[in-house]
Amino acid sequence: MSAIYNRFLPLIPAGGTILDAGCGSGRDSRVFISKGYAVTAFDASPELVALARSINGVPASVATFTSFSSEQLYDGIWACASLLHLPRAQLVEAITGLAELLAPKGVFYLSFKRGVHERITGGRQFTDLTEEMFGELVARIQNLRIRYCWVTEDARTDRSDKWLNAILEVATNPATQQSDTLGT
């Protein structure tokens, strides 16, 4: 995860605010807090929120991508392997709603398993995306553009999955919604 943190965190001001959307056990929130960032975290799973609070000391709350609300604007939104649990048809609405919480120069990290499938595994929704599919999805979201998009190998040695990672930013000019860095 260090390489991904190293792409995301330099885009956030020192001591800035990060929303960990779909925080799971709080692993990433804990890292951000240890580096001096002000973190707000949520997850739809009460069990994972309890873990985030008890094991990682993260002040997390129970909410979904569409039910979470805040008066706060965030310098960064972190949605690591979390939005992939939504059906593809719900992604634009969820990303758009979260993006409304971005500060004017805010950035939004997202990751999905790389592929074309939607499936239910172990009772959980999984939605994969390719670079092309992701570009088409972002093109449907007003005021966001792709700053970076790249593929990584799964960090778990027992898995061969590839991950599509992206950092979105607020588009200051809607005509420049797509970045030149798709695939980098």
pLDDT (tens digit per residue) in 62-76: 999 999 999 999 999
Asked whether residue 151 is domain-assigned, the answer is: yes
pLDDT at 181 over 90: no
Q: What is the mean pLDDT of residues 33-58?
A: 97
Asked whether residue 39 is domain-assigned, the answer is: yes
Asked whether residue 184 is domain-assigned, the answer is: no
How many alpha carbons lie under 13 Å from residue 10 in its C-beta half-sphere? 5
Domain count, the chain: 1
Asked whether residue 92 is domain-assigned, the answer is: yes
- State whether the Cα torsion 141-142-144-149 is positive or negative: positive
Asked whether residue 181 is domain-assigned, the answer is: no
Rounded to the nearest 5 percent, the helix, strand and coil shares of the chain are 30, 35, 40
pTM value is: 0.92
Asked whether residue 183 is domain-assigned, the answer is: no
CATH number at residue 128: 3.40.50.150
pLDDT at 119 over 90: yes
DSSP H/E element including 152: strand 144-153
Residue 178 pLDDT class (50, 70, 90 cuts): low
Asked whether residue 75 is domain-assigned, the answer is: yes
Place of tokens 């074309």: 116
Place of tokens 């973190």: 39
Asked whether residue 182 is domain-assigned, the answer is: no
Supply the range of the domain harboring residue 172. Answer: 2-176
Pick the residue with more confidence: 174 or 39?
39
Structure tokens at 48: 């994972």
